[in-house]
Amino acid sequence: MDARTSDRPVTLLSIDDDPLALDLVRSALEQPGLRILTCEDPIAGLEMARAERPQIVLLDLMMPGMSGMEVLKSIASTDPSADVILLTAHYSTEAAVDAIQQGACDYLNKPFDIARLQERVQALIDEWRRRWRLRKLDGQVLEANQFHGIIGRSAPMLDVFGRMRRVGPHFQTALITGQTGTGKELAAQALHALSPVANGPFIVCNCAAIPENLVESELFGHVKGSFTGAVQDKTGLFEAAHNGSLFLDELGELPLAAQAKLLRAVQQQEIQRVGATFTRKVNVRIIAATNRNLQQEVEKKTFREDLLFRLSMVEIVLPPLVERPEDLPLLIRYFVEQFSKRYNKDFEGLTRRAETLLLRYHWPGNVRDLENVIGYACMMAEPSRIDVNDLPERVRLGSGISRGGSGETTMVTLDEIQQIHARRVIAAVDGNKVKAASILGISRATLYRLLGNASGPADDETESAAQQFRGGRT
């Protein structure tokens, strides 16, 4: 067996009531970078598995006190990411099938073939090390694909980032549209950060949360005694945002009467407090956001056309998550890291079946929905990996299965999506890997590692992606 080292050791636990078998395992598998633990008692071995979280478990099927199948079920329920190989001198097809269904990755006969055991274990070690390298690579890619706190590397998001870069230094008013949960407030903060008033205040106003009779007072302020309850002068949001930006979230909920006054404030850059006899000049950049189709609201006479024209001089349209699947791995990675810190848990990521399920889901609430799902999973799961049972029931039950042209089920992993995205970018620039790496925000060496370490489409699929891109279908 080749001795291979890694920057992260792999732990193997062998549980067998035969001490000679344990000695054989240790002598056959010992190598640099592999930590081997052994235990003769199945109950103690199960406790060791829970405490040490081994990546690989060799498990004897027939043991006194607790059968190997019982130990397997317990390990599969507490740490489904562990690869378990069952060893037995009493082989049967039925038992092998049952073991695989219970979560084992292989089933070998005793006395086992040393070469076959070495080969099988080495393949699992290499797979774990590959995943670890990809995890570190994911961290580099995640860092390289953040734009003022917004995560994305898909073509729709790169278009959004490019548009914000161009208009950020110049806009006076901007309209951000998109479905609920697409990140409109983050986009507004990015625009503010790119503007000449980035050092000024960023004031948020949730238009839907203001009672209709208080809208004018909230936006423009009031003077003492101007109405019942006005016991002192109040500064409005426009004044609070002077020399900065005012973010009007859920603008479509603003009443028509308030829209007229808002239009004047936007056009004239001046406001008049309720009850005041004079106006005040302000210097405010207005960023409005809505999940409504404001043109339809204009046609229904519930939104002023002149206000829409004024605000939509610059419009940023945020795509729903379903239209940017390449961003899912990055977003999942980001939220797992964030909630790991919040809950003080060390998560390496998701199991393959949990990854697949999240990729199938339609995400009606977009990025916010994904954030809530990952937050719930991190709260419920035990370190180190999140499994299907840790996800909310609505996600487990609501994930459809994508179908290929032949009607066969298509299973896509996060690793494959990363490679697919890289290949599409390469195809879009006619194979120029230097330019592709620049677009992806990673080094050329990192790009080569990504393509070499991920199992994904072959070269003919890359050419197919290129043809689709040139035809405008990607």
pLDDT over 50 (residue 471)? no
CATH fit for domain 322-398, picks 1.10.8.60, 1.10.10.60, 3.30.930.10, 3.40.50.10780:
1.10.8.60
Q: How does pLDDT run across 6-54, given as a tens digit for each residue? A: 456 899 999 999 999 999 999 999 999 899 999 999 999 999 998 888 9
- What token pair was written down for 363? 């995400």
pLDDT over 90 (residue 432)? no
β-bridge mates for residue 222, sequence order:
234, 274
Are domains 155-317 and 322-398 of this chain identical in fold? no
Task: Give the long-range contacts of residues 184-187, CB within 8 A, separation 24 or more.
Answer: 184/249, 184/289, 184/291, 184/318, 185/247, 185/249, 185/289, 186/148, 186/149, 186/150, 187/150, 187/160, 187/289, 187/316, 187/318
Q: What percent of the chain has pLDDT over 70?
A: 85
Confidence of residue 434 (pLDDT cuts 50, 70, 90): confident
Provide the pLDDT for residue 92. Answer: 65
The average pLDDT across 370-382 equals 93
- CA distance readout (Å), 168 to 93, 103, 162, 206, 347: 66, 52, 10, 22, 37
pLDDT over 60 (residue 179)? yes
Provide the pLDDT for residue 408. Answer: 37
Query: What single string gives the DSSP state of each residue in 334-358?
Result: HHHHHHHHHHT----EE-HHHHHHH
Give the number of other Cβ atoms within 10 Å of residue 117's Cβ: 20
Confidence of residue 4 (pLDDT cuts 50, 70, 90): very low
- CATH superfamily name and code, 10-141: Response regulator (3.40.50.2300)
Instruction: Please determine, looking at this structure, whether the domain spanning 155-317 carries the CATH number 3.40.50.460.
Output: no
Distance of alpha carbon 66 from alpha carbon 70, whole angstroms:
7
Provide the pLDDT for residue 136. Answer: 72
Contact 126, 435 (CB under 8 A): no
The average pLDDT across 249-260 equals 93
pTM over 0.75: no
The average pLDDT across 447-472 equals 48
The average pLDDT across 279-297 equals 95
Provide the pLDDT for residue 425. Answer: 75
pLDDT over 80 (residue 410)? no
Q: How does pLDDT run across 197-242, given as a tens digit for each residue? A: 999 999 999 999 999 889 999 999 988 888 888 778 899 999 999 9
Confidence of residue 298 (pLDDT cuts 50, 70, 90): very high
pLDDT over 70 (residue 93)? no
Distance of alpha carbon 459 from alpha carbon 465, whole angstroms:
10
The 8-class DSSP code of residue 251 comes to G
Distance of alpha carbon 350 from alpha carbon 380, whole angstroms:
13
Distance of alpha carbon 459 from alpha carbon 177, whole angstroms:
38
pLDDT over 50 (residue 419)? yes
Provide the pLDDT for residue 399. Answer: 66
Could you state, in order of their start, the residue ranges of all structural domains in the chain?
A: 10-141, 155-317, 322-398, 414-470
How much is the mean pLDDT over the chain?
Answer: 84
pLDDT over 80 (residue 86)? yes
Provide the pLDDT for residue 454. Answer: 40
Q: Which tops the pLDDT comparison, 154 or 352?
A: 154
pLDDT over 80 (residue 366)? yes
Provide the pLDDT for residue 204. Answer: 97
Confidence of residue 463 (pLDDT cuts 50, 70, 90): very low
